[in-house]
Amino acid sequence: MDDSPDWDPVRALAHSVLNQGIPLELTDDVRSLLRRTAREVAICDADTALQTEAGATELLREAMRRIKEGSWRLMRALHRMYQHKRAGDFDSARQEMRDVLAEEVVPFYRDVAAGQLEDLDDEP
């Protein structure tokens, strides 16, 4: 089973609200989406933010920032990890994933990094 988060709906919402300037309407569906996304990016206390449109918009902005920054952090670290592995430097490869884990808060990205680190247990 693949438990990767589906961030397409929240991306679409962010595009309309943050890029196109369309006001956020706090419908039940939007609240539900933002509540779920908040969990997925480790934002606590989403209910307080969801009491106002301004708060919800800030939550949306912060969620998108975490999704995007986490992606770049992880992908860059993976790319460097592969380079270290090809060079036979497994300590440096492990350190790339440890650095991600030291900084990353999004559980999905952390899981990917932790899995790669665990796989490196089999290497010298």
Partner 1 sequence: MGIFATLALGCSSSATGTTSRRDAYALATCSDTVSCCIQRNPGVPEACGLTASEAALYMAGVKTAMDEAAKEEEAPVVWDDAHNADLPEWRRECIRFYGDCKTEPGWTGPCYECLRRCEAQEEWPVSMCKPGRKTRRK
Residues of this chain that bind partner 1 (CB under 8 A) = 1-7, 11, 39-40, 42-46, 67-68, 70-72, 74-76, 78-79, 82-83, 86-87, 105, 107-112, 115-116, 118-119, 122
Whichever of 48 and 52 has its CB closer to partner 1, that residue is: 48
Whichever of 55 and 107 has its CB closer to partner 1, that residue is: 107
Angle between helices 53-86 and 28-40 (to 10 degrees): 30
Backbone φ, ψ for residue 41 (5° rounding): -115, 15
The amino acid sitting at 66 is: R
Could you tell me the smallest distance in angstroms from the CB atom of residue 53 to partner 1? 22
Residue 33: Cβ-neighbour burial (10 angstroms; 0-12, 13-18, 19+): middle
Whichever of 25 and 118 has its CB closer to partner 1, that residue is: 118
